[in-house]
Amino acid sequence: MTLPTLLVLDADPPPRLGRLTGRARVLHTDDEGLAALLPEADVLLVWDFRSRAVRDAWPGKGPRPAWVHTASAGVDHLMCPELAASGTVVTNARGVFDQPVAEYVAALVLAAAKDLPRTVEFQRNRVWRHRETRRVAGTRACVVGSGPIGRAVAATLKALGVTPALVGRVPRTGVHGPADLDRLIARADWVIAAAPLTDRTRGMFDAHRFGVMQPSAVFVNVGRGELVDEPALAEALRRRWIAGAALDVFTTEPLPADSPLWDLPGLLVSPHMSGDTAGWRDELGAQFVELYERWAAGRGLVNVVDKKRGYVPGH
């Protein structure tokens, strides 16, 4: 019996795929070798979810994998017109990052409300400075992105006494539509970006949106860097149109050392780590193995991405 060929676009450390021994012919590649090996693959595992090599290699000659899985929630790094138009099934890591990201957002909200960054700074400089801080309970949040991550963020903030409003692509019970966004962010204390990157969401947080927000509002982005017009955010912080911001994702990653974002007043920078808790890579590997077993048995895959929309529908 000929084993299916599984091609892994690697990152360090590589995935643990021991359960697939004897059940798949596993090949490993980096960005440079991907194009040459794609025609051999029945399945492609994009373990290096920061790589954009799939977008470059996919339009080449030869057959293409029947199934592509990315070890990430977003799929913008691999989608290209040729892949979107193909019969290839694309799945993502939906479900792995929901609660970790929600906890991270809650930590950022609490840190901003309780002025923890300045407390650390004052301690480092041996300064005793009493201040008053904000109460979190009773505040409002606008969570943009109604998928599993956005819903987990809303539920976690609600547990802190925050009143959350979810905004999604299509209005439905419990979810506001895009037409309500300006109205909701205008009265929100916390504006959380957790949307997928699509043509509709790219650059959605621009000078207009930051101008609509309250001067006391804090903006948090745990979605994709390209959701934000970064120069517009920088201007909003310098002019104190908003009270502060926390970015875990950026248009360019890693964030260059000479980026002006590092020195902006009121901006907390973190290196795309909001969903990465201890053992997260093992969870991603185990999720893929379970999906592979479904695929090999001829059962329907879950976490199937709508390639035109750029996310898993139904949320």
Q: Could you give the residue numbers annotated as active site?
A: 224, 253, 272
Write the CA distances from 192 to 15, 153, 167, 224, 270, integer angstroms.
31, 9, 10, 12, 15
Burial 152-182 (b: 16+ CB within 10 A, else e): bbbebbeeeebebbbbbbeeeeebbeeeebe
Which strands, in side-by-side order, build the sheet including 190-193?
163-167, 140-144, 190-193, 218-221, 244-247, 267-269
CB-CB neighbours of 62 under 10 Å: 9
Asked, as a colleague might, if the bond just before 15 is cis with ω within 30 of 0, I would say no
Note the Cα 21 to chain centre separation in Å: 31
Alpha-helix runs per DSSP H in 213-279 = 230-238
Spell out where 119-162 has E strands.
140-144
Cα(151)–Cα(159) distance, rounded to whole angstroms?
12
Cα(58)–Cα(39) distance, rounded to whole angstroms?
10
Q: Strand, helix or coil at 66?
A: coil
Contact of 20 with 6, CB cutoff 8 Å: yes
- Give me the sign of the Cα torsion angle 102, 108, 112, 113: positive
Write the CA distances from 219 to 72, 130, 192, 243, 268, integer angstroms.
23, 25, 6, 8, 10
